[in-house]
């Protein structure tokens, strides 16, 4: 039976770092399957995963020669499920297994379901990454912290969706980018942006150029090294003058010079008397700092009342 989770559970990185790193690579394999089978949507929105009542999903994907299908991480039953619209289904247990083995088994499942998919087997946005078929180092999988991580994502998704509803302009879905392994939501001013000057490991320049083709205020959560349980972030591209020095809420928010973004430790949110309101304050305050600094047309972009 899956360990019971609570709203806004504790997810200290020290307790699941090896599992996190393995799961990150698992999601990259599944995410690349989605990227291969779906047409490009602005800012790579066609590659992301979405939070579900049991884990993460690709949502329904077309296939060039076979039936449409989807792939679901079920963190309740600890399985990866692959299902076609013809009713065929295959699954793979999520347990300690190497990335190389996971990759080989996923490719076999897809072929067995008549939706074979060839992906570039190189992780992205990870320095020093090893190709999936050769990675026998990352093999940890502990279901309990994964379930807590998913439970936290479900709470975040709710708050991010509430925040997204306040905006009338172009806005992304609330989705998980498997490159950085972060849950994110992005708002757009409608104005084009200068070409993004930075890159990421194993990502060609066209990747970031597409991602940041237009002016953004973006927020999200990354289960990384910022804080013991990861951190929420908020940034603007291009960074407008005065943004980093703006006064923002809530208490505990700080500017990170290395990341060039505002950060708020996850544990401050989960231990707040009202975590949802605490996180919403961070999202709203940092967005306003970006929009005001960049002189967005807030009157036409935001929902009133």
247 and 161 share one domain: yes
- Is 79 found in the same domain as 60? yes
In a domain, 83, yes or no: yes
- Kindly state whether residues 119 and 153 are assigned to the same domain: no
Same-domain status, 184 and 123 = no
153 lies in the same domain as 261: yes
**Residue 205 belongs to what domain range?**
143-301
User: So what's the pLDDT on residue 226?
Assistant: 67
Domain count, the chain: 2
Is residue 217 a part of any domain in this protein?
yes
Q: Give the DSSP H/E element, type plus range, for residue 198.
A: none
Q: Which of 134, 153, 179 is the last residue before a domain boundary?
A: 134
Whether 88 and 188 share a structural domain: no
Residues 117 and 18 reside in one and the same domain: yes
Same domain flag for 83 and 218: no
pLDDT in tens, 223-246: 987 679 999 999 999 999 999 999
pTM: predicted TM-score of the whole model, two decimal places: 0.96
Would 240 be classed as within a structural domain? yes
Q: Are the C-beta atoms of 175 and 35 separated by less than 8 Å?
A: no
Of 112, 134, 156, which residue constitutes the final position of a domain? 134
Domain boundary, last residue among 107, 134, 161: 134
Same domain, 129 and 59: yes
In the chain, which residues have pLDDT < 50?
1-5
Give me the DSSP letters along 25-56.
HHHHHHHHHHHHHS---GGGGGG-BEE-SSEE
Clarify whether residues 75 and 107 are in a common domain: yes
pLDDT of residue 227: 73
Question: What's residue 162's pLDDT?
Answer: 97
Same domain, 165 and 257: yes
The confidence score (pLDDT) of residue 6 equals 62
Can you say how many angstroms the Cα of residue 210 is from the centroid of all Cα atoms in its chain?
Answer: 17
Return d(Cα 18, Cα 89) in angstroms, integer: 29
Please report the pLDDT score of residue 85 as a whole number.
98
- Report the largest interatomic distance among the alpha carbons of the chain, rounded to a whole angstrom: 56
Whole-number Å distance between alpha carbons of 184 and 295:
23
Indicate whether 1 belongs to any domain: no
pLDDT one-digit tens code per residue, 13-45: 999 999 999 999 999 999 999 999 999 999 999
Does residue 6 belong to any structural domain of this protein?
no
Residue 132: per-residue pLDDT: 98
Residue 81 bridge partners (DSSP) = 72, 91
In a domain, 4, yes or no: no
């Amino acid at each position: 039976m899956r360990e019971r989770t609570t709203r806004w559970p504790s997810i200290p990185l020290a307790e699941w770092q090896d599992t996190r790193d393995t799961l990150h690579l698992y999601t990259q394999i599944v995410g690349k399957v989605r990227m291969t089978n779906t047409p490009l949507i602005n800012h790579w929105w066609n590659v992301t995963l979405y939070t579900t009542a049991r884990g993460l999903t690709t949502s329904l994907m077309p296939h060039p020669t076979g039936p449409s299908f989807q792939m679901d991480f079920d963190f309740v039953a600890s399985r990866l499920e692959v299902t076609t619209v013809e009713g065929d289904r295959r699954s793979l247990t999520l347990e300690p297994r190497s990335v190389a083995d996971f990759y080989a088994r996923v490719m076999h499942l897809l072929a067995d379901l008549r939706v074979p998919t060839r992906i570039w087997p190189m992780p992205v946005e990870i320095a020093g990454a090893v190709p999936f078929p050769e990675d026998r180092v990352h093999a940890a999988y502990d279901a309990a912290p994964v379930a807590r991580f998913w439970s936290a994502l479900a709470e975040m998704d709710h708050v991010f969706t509430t925040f997204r509803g306040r905006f009338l302009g172009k806005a992304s879905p609330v989705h998980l980018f498997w490159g950085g392994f972060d849950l994110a939501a992005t708002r757009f001013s409608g104005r084009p942006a200068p070409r993004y000057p930075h890159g990421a490991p194993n990502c060609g320049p066209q990747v970031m150029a597409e991602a940041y083709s237009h002016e953004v205020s973006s927020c999200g959560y990354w289960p990384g090294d910022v804080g013991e349980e990861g951190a929420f972030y908020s940034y603007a591209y291009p960074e407008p003058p005065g943004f980093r020095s703006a006064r923002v809420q809530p208490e505990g928010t700080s500017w990170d010079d290395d990341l060039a973004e505002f950060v708020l430790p996850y544990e401050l949110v989960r231990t707040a008397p009202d975590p949802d309101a605490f996180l919403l304050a961070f999202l709203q305050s940092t967005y306003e700092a970006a929009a005001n600094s960049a002189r967005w047309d807030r009157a036409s972009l935001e929902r009133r009342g």
